[in-house]
Structure 1
Amino acid sequence: MQIRSKFSSLYLWPLLAWLMLFVPLSSSHSKESISDPIRVQLAWMHQSQFAGFYVAQVRKHFENEGLHVTLIEGGPNINPITELQEGRADVAVSWLANAWSLSADQKHVTNIAQIFSGSSLAVICRISAGVFTPKDITGKKIGVWGLGDELVVNEMLNRLEIPQTSVELIRQAPNGQDLIDGKVACATTMAYNEYWQILEKGIPSTDLIVISPELFGIPHIEDGLYVMTDRLSSSVFRTQMVKLVKGLRTGWKEARIAPTLAVEIIQRKATVLNKEHQKHMLESVLGIIPVNPNEFGLFDLGRYQSEVNRLLSPDKVNPTPERIWTYDIWNELKKEDKNTTPLTQATKFYVSSTTGMLAFKILVYFGVFTYALSGVLEAIHRGYDLWGRLILAFLSGVGGGTLRDLLIGGDRLPFYYVKDLTYPLGILLVVLITSSIVAAHQDAHMSDLFKKTKKYADILGFTSLAITGAAISISSNLPWFWAPICAALTCAGGGMLRDIVVNQEPSTFKGVIYEEVAVVGALFLVGGLMVANHFEYTALPVYLSLILSIILIICLRLAIYKYHWRYPKFLGGSGLDSDSH
């Protein structure tokens, strides 16, 4: 008995302790499952605005993904974000402004997918109420829902220079009824819903003035999927959300293919709905749903930044909420589709934003004008007149960028120097100033000081154009391998065109290491941007990648000059030292 007691004390207690640790862990893992119910709180009552949800549910697209989805009807006194925060829903369909204003400590919400890519919000006023132009809103009552639309109205008043105190915002009844009854002079409406209902109630279109906030540069990000931010830490929940978006994407695709069937499905949810009205609504809604399935769910950071500028204005709502958006679900969806790219949407957006900065434009100007200078000097060396100098300067300065933009097409046309006269005027000034200096001091361009200055200016100009070419290719959504090609083309294409005009073999084809530096710098940039993918909420890693790439290219060019690096003879190098551009 004594031996048995010792055995028990020696082994039983550690066993019990191990079980106490293991059981909670195993039970915590069993709490979540892909098949757990998902409650989706809709932003409004059952209608065609949510057609894709109903089609996905009835056609079992959610079920085929292993999900059990419940759609919860909204209404005039139901805020979807509040329902989400209070635990009565797992997913909420809401506007960004509404989510932004209600996201707070311990109750942060995050947009995981954007359904509407455009905006349908409008302010409709009745001419019979004395509103003939937007300025006539002064002194009138405006009906709002209080879901963020009031913020848009206030911003529109600011743009119209109408004091907010001069109008009265009141909570309006559903379906534009207050505007129909004449209780308000204006009301916020959705182009796909209330507008049609107002017409159906007998209000003639000739009595209405429709004011779109978008015309005043006021973006409005509407229906998106929002979840509690802390739930995204669960891999099971993230998987559920990926499957939810995937099923929803199929639902909207089928609603577009068979709109009549979609309306019939909607009417099963709410038999009192008018069929013709729902058809009109669905037709309007499909206009702001991405046609390309690969774009469904994509949160547009460009529109977001524009709306943030409004939301962060003084005396507006709270500062930027924590993780109000994420591409985590979008990225996982792309992996399931086997449609991933090396650079994330956030990284591409930050690169694109950088190309629009003043500092970046100055960098490009410097590169173009430096290369134009080399063209002028080549023309002077060959004894060309003013027109010949201008042609060679233009080819050298913008020839590479022209070839690059012809390759990219799309938004890069018409050419940047056509849209921005700074380029041709700057090149003209370079030609006139250089020609004047050479005319006054004929040997000025042959002096050691001038040659040294030109050498270092050429290095900086080369770096500017190489980085420009790589960044523009990335911001234009070209595959990553076009970045080094566009970098080399931008910094060397103009020189090659100039050499063709003067009937000269490009020196960079004869052993000089030149475009190769641009290729190395662009590849380094792409690698840095891949690291930046992991920091979707800040552009600093993108800026750092650009700066380090610039430093690398400058260092390589300096090393080539100092150590006279060239191709070896068996690869075409002549062993002779010569400048490249």
Structure 2
Amino acid sequence: MQKKLLALLLSFALAATLLAGCSSSSGSATATPTAAPEATPTESTQLDHLTLQLKWIDHSQFMGYLVAKEKGYYEDEGIDIEILAGGSDIIPEQNVYNGVADIGVTWVSSLMTYQAQGYDLTEVAQMFQNSGLLLVSKKSSGINSPADLAGKKIGSWFGGNEYEVYALLEKYGLMDSVTMVQQDYTMDQVAEGSIDAASAMTYNELKLFYNEGFSEDEVNVIDMNEEGVAMLEDCLFCTNEWAEANHDLLVRFLRASIKGWKEALADTDAAGTLCYNYCGSISEAHQQYMAAEVAKLVAPEGFDTNKIGYIDMDAVQQTADYLVKYNKDLAATPVVDETTFNSTYWKEATGN
């Protein structure tokens, strides 16, 4: 009985061994060997980490970067990107200079101010080709043109936001005939009448004013671009040292970012929804409105979208001229050349 049991166990063991051999080599004599699956890139071995510091909260003002991140365009370029939201207490120039971030987004006049203080910072792409700053008033105030600002109270956030307004006032000889007032980040002051005209960005505060219950027919707008006194706003910058040490990474970052901007411009509603899902700021409808207005600044009417990020040195020089004229505390005259506004990496990324 024991011998039969032992024989039975041995037969089971042999069958198991044969089955295992079949499963591991079945069809091996005739089947074409399949390639081993590609290893999934990992942050530590495949992707280069890069940190982007925004000027303000992560909403549709920065939709190109958010679209590129959410769609995987940075990963496609071998980049693990970290996007840091900005705020009133965050200075992109300092964070980039101190190494908290690799690349930052800021206004050109602000960048120039830090460059004049000796910060080794260079612009590498100009994302907004037009200024988004407006002066907004109720039609009942009688401000139908810049000349009508005489004797009026004008709101400004100051901190560099006033320079275009000063340029406008000087153009019309009104510097001594208006009262400049500290403005908050709502449109309540102009809505209630404590100021006559308020500063507003096309992509944010103008919409907030309409949300106060005013229709477009009840609002007058003065556009800095149309008046020829615009200063450049959102740009990308980094230190010269970082750019030189990370040439290829910077080019890849710009290429992915521009791809994100192109997609955002092609469908601003989708971009606005993506930004709302990313940041949850205000409402989806507001983010879509912002996206549509930001698109007009990145690629104004007639602008070639293959040149997104182009640095217009004439516009840079105008920004510098107004900055020198109206910022009396500027440490030195801004240097406007290839060391401070460097298109090399952008040209390589775009083929322009």
Q: Cα–Cα, structure 1 residues 100 and 34, in superposed 2: closer, same or farther, change >3 Å? A: farther
- Give the match for residue 223 of structure 1: 234
CA contact (8 A) 1:150 1:169 kept: no
Are 1:149 and 2:161 matched, yes or no?
yes
CA contact (8 A) 1:95 1:148 kept: no
- Give the match for residue 307 of structure 1: 319
Aligned pairs (5 A) from 1:159-558: 159-164=171-176, 166-170=178-182, 172-234=183-245, 236=246, 238-290=247-299, 292-313=304-325, 316=328, 317=330, 318-321=332-335, 323-334=339-350, 339=351
Letter in 2 for 1:125: S
How many Å separate the matches in 1 of 2:317 and 2:47?
36
Helix, strand or coil at the partner of 2:297: coil
- Give the match for residue 72 of structure 2: 60
CA contact (8 A) 2:273 2:287 kept: no
Q: Cα–Cα, structure 1 residues 83 and 124, in superposed 2: closer, same or farther, change >3 Å? A: farther
- Give the match for residue 97 of structure 1: 109
Letter in 2 for 1:256: L
Q: Cα–Cα, structure 1 residues 175 and 226, in superposed 2: closer, same or farther, change >3 Å? A: farther
* Superimposed CA distance per residue, residues 451-508 of structure 1 (whole angstroms, 9 cap, x where no aligned partner): xxxxxxxxxxxxxxxxxxxxxxxxxxxxxxxxxxxxxxxxxxxxxxxxxxxxxxxxxx
- Give the match for residue 345 of structure 1: none
| Residue 175 of structure 1, CA deviation | 4.4
Structure with max Cα Rg: 1
How many Å separate the matches in 2 of 1:333 and 1:225?
14
How many Å separate the matches in 2 of 1:124 and 1:107?
35
* Superimposed CA distance per residue, residues 205-258 of structure 1 (whole angstroms, 9 cap, x where no aligned partner): 344221112233213212110112332332x2x222211111111111222333
CA contact (8 A) 1:37 1:68 kept: yes
Helix, strand or coil at the partner of 1:321: coil
How many Å separate the matches in 1 of 2:326 and 2:260?
41
Helix, strand or coil at the partner of 1:143: strand
| Residue 159 of structure 1, CA deviation | 0.9
- Give the match for residue 573 of structure 1: none
> Aligned-residue CA RMSD in angstroms?
2.7
CA contact (8 A) 2:224 2:230 kept: yes
How many Å separate the matches in 1 of 2:140 and 2:235?
36
Letter in 2 for 1:243: R
Letter in 1 for 2:333: P
Residues matched between the structures, number: 301
Alignment TM-score, normalising by the size of structure 1: 0.48
How many Å separate the matches in 2 of 1:304 and 1:281?
25
- After alignment, is 286-295 or 198-207 more displaced? 286-295
Helix, strand or coil at the partner of 1:214: coil
- Give the match for residue 16 of structure 2: none
CA contact (8 A) 1:141 1:168 kept: yes
Q: Cα–Cα, structure 1 residues 272 and 283, in superposed 2: closer, same or farther, change >3 Å? A: closer
Helix, strand or coil at the partner of 2:262: helix
* Superimposed CA distance per residue, residues 417-463 of structure 1 (whole angstroms, 9 cap, x where no aligned partner): xxxxxxxxxxxxxxxxxxxxxxxxxxxxxxxxxxxxxxxxxxxxxxx
Letter in 1 for 2:95: E
- Give the match for residue 477 of structure 1: none
| Residue 34 of structure 1, CA deviation | 8.8
How many Å separate the matches in 2 of 1:75 and 1:315?
23
CA contact (8 A) 1:112 1:326 kept: yes
CA contact (8 A) 2:166 2:326 kept: no
Letter in 1 for 2:250: M
- Give the match for residue 507 of structure 1: none
Aligned pairs (5 A) from 1:22-101: 35-101=47-113
Q: Cα–Cα, structure 1 residues 305 and 71, in superposed 2: closer, same or farther, change >3 Å? A: same
Q: Identity rate of aligned residues, in percent?
A: 25
Helix, strand or coil at the partner of 2:116: coil
How many Å separate the matches in 2 of 1:95 and 1:271?
24
Q: Cα–Cα, structure 1 residues 36 and 176, in superposed 2: closer, same or farther, change >3 Å? A: farther
How many Å separate the matches in 2 of 1:35 and 1:182?
54
- Structure (1/2) with the larger strand percentage: 2
Name structure 1 gaps, 5 residues minimum.
Answer: 1-32, 341-581
| Residue 89 of structure 1, CA deviation | 2.5
Alignment TM-score, normalising by the size of structure 2: 0.76
Are 1:135 and 2:147 matched, yes or no?
yes
Q: Cα–Cα, structure 1 residues 304 and 128, in superposed 2: closer, same or farther, change >3 Å? A: same
| Residue 130 of structure 1, CA deviation | 5.9
- Structure (1/2) with the larger helix percentage: 1
| Residue 153 of structure 1, CA deviation | 1.1
Letter in 2 for 1:95: W
| Residue 35 of structure 1, CA deviation | 4.2
CA contact (8 A) 1:97 1:147 kept: no
| Residue 201 of structure 1, CA deviation | 2.0
Higher relative contact order (CA 8 A, sep 6+): 2
- After alignment, is 323-332 or 161-170 more displaced? 161-170
How many Å separate the matches in 1 of 2:197 and 2:253?
38
How many Å separate the matches in 1 of 2:85 and 2:216?
31
CA contact (8 A) 2:134 2:221 kept: yes
CA contact (8 A) 2:181 2:195 kept: no
